[in-house]
A and B are shown apart, each in its own frame.
Chain A
Amino acid sequence: MTARTLYDKIWDDHVVHQAEDGTCLLYIDRHLVHEVTSPQAFEGLRMTGRKVRAPEKTIAVPDHNVPTTLDRANAATMTEDSRIQVAALDTNAKDFGINYYPVSDVRQGIVHIVGPEQGWTLPGMTVVCGDSHTATHGAFGSLAHGIGTSEVEHVLATQTLIQRKGKNMKVEITGSLRPGVTAKDITLSVIGHTGTAGGTGYVIEYCGQAIRELSMEGRMTVCNMAIEGGARAGLIAPDEKTFAYCMGRPHAPKGAAWEAAVAYWKTLFSDEGAHWDKVVTLKGEDIAPVVTWGTSPEDVLPITAVVPSPSDFTGGKVEAVSRALDYMGLTPGQKLTDIAIDTVFIGSCTNGRIEDLRAAAAILKGKKIKAGMRAMVVPGSGLVRAQAEEEGLAQIFLDAGFEWRLAGCSMCLAMNPDQLQPGERCAATSNRNFEGRQGRGGRTHLVSPGMAAAAAITGHLTDVREIMTENV
């Protein structure tokens, strides 16, 4: 039998129909839904009299619009249009009989954190959602990617997706990471290496010792940003850590079904000799804590570097860098550690899980944020929030001067009231530093949770390793 990649295997097991031109109908095991990209899809079903084909495989949760302040039960905390969008999801979930975690439910949170947490996401599955960060679920060895609203409607109606198979790309991170270097630094460094279009047309499988050594939380951070490298999906082969994470989750199989599932999951790896269309290898020990300086996730450098000059680039990137530096208010040659920060945001589907909060709290313990700094922690789900409170992390954040919020997407994309003002500069653990992403004129520097915490203490971008040394 031909050697196959992990992506090939999952693909093959989900093809419902293949047309002569190679277009496939792919079966979808889990469909995650949120309030922003679904209303028009449900409306389409109503207009055509269609039903949701597999409501038991469809899971909805509001996350993008919801306020994360403690008073959010008060409807006045939401703008009228946000309220309408969340109410539409409430109604659609009820009318179509799909699984639902409303804002009032402790299990509510960012859709990509809730899915794995509740055991909906399992190895070998196909998972889609009307959200590009669906790539997150690839950490379980599931084929997971974002889709548009027309495709959301298509999946709701048919439980399938029309797809053409992508190419296989292997990203290997050899060796181990050095202290202070995290999954976020891996995923940003890979994008810095390949560019934001480097993965276009590919599904990435991340592998190598440094990936194996990551926790499930870290693996989710890596896969989450596959899309920022242009790849629709990122994958990591499941292993004992994956099985241990899944075991006992509310929607994971139990008993004999669990044993059968694990036996199948153990077949999910890329065969020796499988064909790769592209291979990228980075040494784990070469990866430093990194930060973005521009308005594209590929604009990434080690924290020890200086702001580059447009003349360091070629082609269309020259103009783009010039525009980015102007937008970001930075000067070529300026040390990255000299960049003063106004706001720190810890959260998002990239870094809103318990391990991320532990990493930030470890830096903040016994310290205060810089006077005048606005700093917030937004846990990825109500259950992450509860666990962080139980572990005493919430108190560390509060003592340091952080706001301790309820769960949601919050300032990652600023659809709720948490926004940057023009010129306001933010160290964020989120995934996109695009112009206007966190608010019109807002300036975003993407970093790991530890780096965000370090910047909150000093008031400027800071090498987290220096604070770690102080803390010893």
Chain B
Amino acid sequence: MEKFTKLTGIAAPMPLVNIDTDMIIPKQFLKTIQRSGLGKNLFDEMRYTQDGAEIPDFVLNQPAYRKAEIIVAGDNFGCGSSREHAPWALLDFGIRCVISTSFADIFFNNCFKNGILPIVLPQEQIDILMADARKGANARQTVDLEAQTVTTSDGQSFPFPGDAHRKHCLLNGLDDIGLTLEKAAAIDSFEAKNAALRPWA
């Protein structure tokens, strides 16, 4: 997994609430057996017509936002299915950070496994970041994970919450499985105890 430390990039405004995982990556693209290559189909049905032509109004098709690395989104981003294809598609497009008032739990969790930082901020701050993102390509926002701050293009800075384990993994690009396997002895002893207490499980 790629590390996430500090990012300065273009932020695309997507104020729509309840952007679901079917919007982020429609089901016809879930038939892949790989993780890569989904970026061209990110937001497919919002981004292209049925014949595959770009819909010019869609934010990521606008010249200012074609190289966006941050999305500032409406409430409850990533609701719906557990498909990790959603963060895979975002990452493959180049998005490394999504900022919203709230995220669906499974999507939120999936982001961290892929080097994407989801940030939760209160509505007033989202409103300021959204307005800043609307200024276009020259309005670059900065996300600093070490300091846990987001800074607008004109220097307004907001602290964001986060938990220590996820931050550590993201800063260092660590593989969860490797870390868990270091606790193999604890898993062994849990299984031994469980076999006595709940043999049917």
| A200 touching B22 in the complex, CB below 8 Å, given contacts A16-B186, A435-B45 | no
Stretch of B78-86, B89-97, B139-147, B153-161 at the chain-chain interface: B78-86
Which B residues are CB-close (under 8 A) to A315?
17
Cβ A197 vs Cβ B33 within 8 A: no
Which A residues are CB-close (under 8 A) to B16?
316, 319-320, 323
Interface residue? A96 (CB, 8 A): no
Cβ A39 vs Cβ B198 within 8 A: no
Cα–Cα distance between A86 and B191 once the two chains are bound (Å) = 32
Cβ B180 vs Cβ A23 within 8 A: no
Contact of B82 among A146, A414, A422, A435 (CB under 8 A): A146
Cβ B165 vs Cβ A37 within 8 A: no
Cβ B114 vs Cβ A230 within 8 A: no
Which B residues are CB-close (under 8 A) to A320?
16-18, 74
Which B residues are CB-close (under 8 A) to A164?
163
Stretch of B4-12, B53-61, B64-72, B101-109 at the chain-chain interface: B101-109
Interface residue? A132 (CB, 8 A): yes
Cα–Cα distance between A150 and B181 once the two chains are bound (Å) = 15
Cβ A146 vs Cβ B106 within 8 A: yes
Contact of B18 among A17, A81, A84, A196 (CB under 8 A): A196
Interface residue? B76 (CB, 8 A): yes
- Taking CB atoms and an 8 Å cut-off, the chain B residues in 171-201 that contact chain A are 176-177, 180-181, 183-184, 186-187, 190-191, 194, 197-201
Query: What is the chain B residue whose CB lies nearest that of A84?
Result: B33
Contact of A436 among B26, B34, B180 (CB under 8 A): B26
Cα–Cα distance between A78 and B67 once the two chains are bound (Å) = 37
Query: What 0/1 readout, one digit per residue, does chain A (64-99) give for beta carbons within 8 Å of chain B?
Result: 110000000000000101101100100000000000
Contact of B176 among A149, A154, A258 (CB under 8 A): A154
Which A residues are CB-close (under 8 A) to B165?
19, 21, 23, 162
Interface residue? A373 (CB, 8 A): no
Which A residues are CB-close (under 8 A) to B30?
36, 64, 415
Which A residues are CB-close (under 8 A) to B31?
36, 65, 79, 81-82, 84-85, 415
- Taking CB atoms and an 8 Å cut-off, the chain A residues in 80-132 that contact chain B are 81-82, 84-85, 88, 122, 124-125, 130-132
Query: What is the chain B residue whose CB lies nearest that of A39?
Result: B33
Q: Sort chain A's interface into a size bin.
A: 35 or more
Contact of A154 among B34, B75, B177, B198 (CB under 8 A): B177
Cα–Cα distance between A367 and B154 once the two chains are bound (Å) = 68
Interface residue? A276 (CB, 8 A): no
B22 nearest CB across to chain A (Å):
4
Cα–Cα distance between A231 and B61 once the two chains are bound (Å) = 33
Interface residue? A244 (CB, 8 A): no
Cβ B22 vs Cβ A435 within 8 A: yes
Cα–Cα distance between A27 and B200 once the two chains are bound (Å) = 15
Cβ A150 vs Cβ B110 within 8 A: yes
B38 nearest CB across to chain A (Å):
11
Cα–Cα distance between A260 and B31 once the two chains are bound (Å) = 43
Q: Which of A124, A145, A148, A436 gathers the greatest number of chain B CB atoms within 10 Å?
A: A148
Q: Which of B105, B187, B197, B198 gathers the greatest number of chain A CB atoms within 10 Å?
A: B105
Cβ A440 vs Cβ B45 within 8 A: yes
Contact of B181 among A157, A230, A434 (CB under 8 A): A157
Interface residue? B47 (CB, 8 A): no
Cβ B82 vs Cβ A17 within 8 A: no
Which B residues are CB-close (under 8 A) to A1?
none
Query: What is the chain B residue whose CB lies nearest that of A201?
Result: B105
Interface residue? A278 (CB, 8 A): no
| A434 touching B23 in the complex, CB below 8 Å, given contacts A37-B83, A415-B30 | yes
Which A residues are CB-close (under 8 A) to B28?
415
B161 nearest CB across to chain A (Å):
13
Which B residues are CB-close (under 8 A) to A200?
76, 102-105
Interface residue? A50 (CB, 8 A): yes
Query: What 0/1 readout, one digit per residue, does chain A (186-198) give for beta carbons within 8 Å of chain B?
Result: 0000000000110
Interface residue? A175 (CB, 8 A): no
Cβ B34 vs Cβ A316 within 8 A: no
Cβ A260 vs Cβ B200 within 8 A: yes
| A150 touching B113 in the complex, CB below 8 Å, given contacts A320-B17, A415-B31 | yes
Contact of B17 among A50, A166, A201, A316 (CB under 8 A): A316
A202 nearest CB across to chain B (Å):
9
Cβ B187 vs Cβ A27 within 8 A: yes
B78 nearest CB across to chain A (Å):
10
Which A residues are CB-close (under 8 A) to B181?
157-158
| A230 touching B180 in the complex, CB below 8 Å, given contacts A125-B201, A162-B165, A320-B18 | no
Cα–Cα distance between A253 and B201 once the two chains are bound (Å) = 9
Cβ B83 vs Cβ A232 within 8 A: no
Cα–Cα distance between A149 and B89 once the two chains are bound (Å) = 14
Query: What is the chain A residue whose CB lies nearest that of B199?
Result: A257
Contact of B22 among A147, A150, A437 (CB under 8 A): A437
A144 nearest CB across to chain B (Å):
12
Query: What 0/1 readout, one digit per residue, does chain A (263-290) give for beta carbons within 8 Å of chain B?
Result: 0100000000000000000000000000
Cβ B187 vs Cβ A261 within 8 A: no
Cβ A160 vs Cβ B180 within 8 A: yes
| A230 touching B104 in the complex, CB below 8 Å, given contacts A317-B17, A320-B17 | yes
Cα–Cα distance between A365 and B83 once the two chains are bound (Å) = 39
Cα–Cα distance between A230 and B87 once the two chains are bound (Å) = 18
Which B residues are CB-close (under 8 A) to A422?
50
Which A residues are CB-close (under 8 A) to B18?
196-197, 296, 298, 320
A-B contact pairs, 12 of them (CB 8 A): A40-B35, A148-B109, A149-B35, A159-B187, A197-B104, A200-B104, A230-B105, A253-B200, A415-B28, A432-B20, A434-B23, A436-B22
- 5 closest A-B pairs (Cβ-Cβ)? A150-B113, A253-B200, A146-B82, A148-B110, A316-B17
Task: Contacts A131-B81, A134-B82 known; list 20 others, CB within 8 Å.
Answer: A17-B183, A21-B165, A27-B191, A36-B83, A37-B82, A40-B84, A64-B30, A130-B82, A132-B106, A147-B106, A150-B84, A162-B176, A162-B180, A200-B102, A296-B20, A316-B15, A319-B16, A415-B31, A422-B50, A432-B81
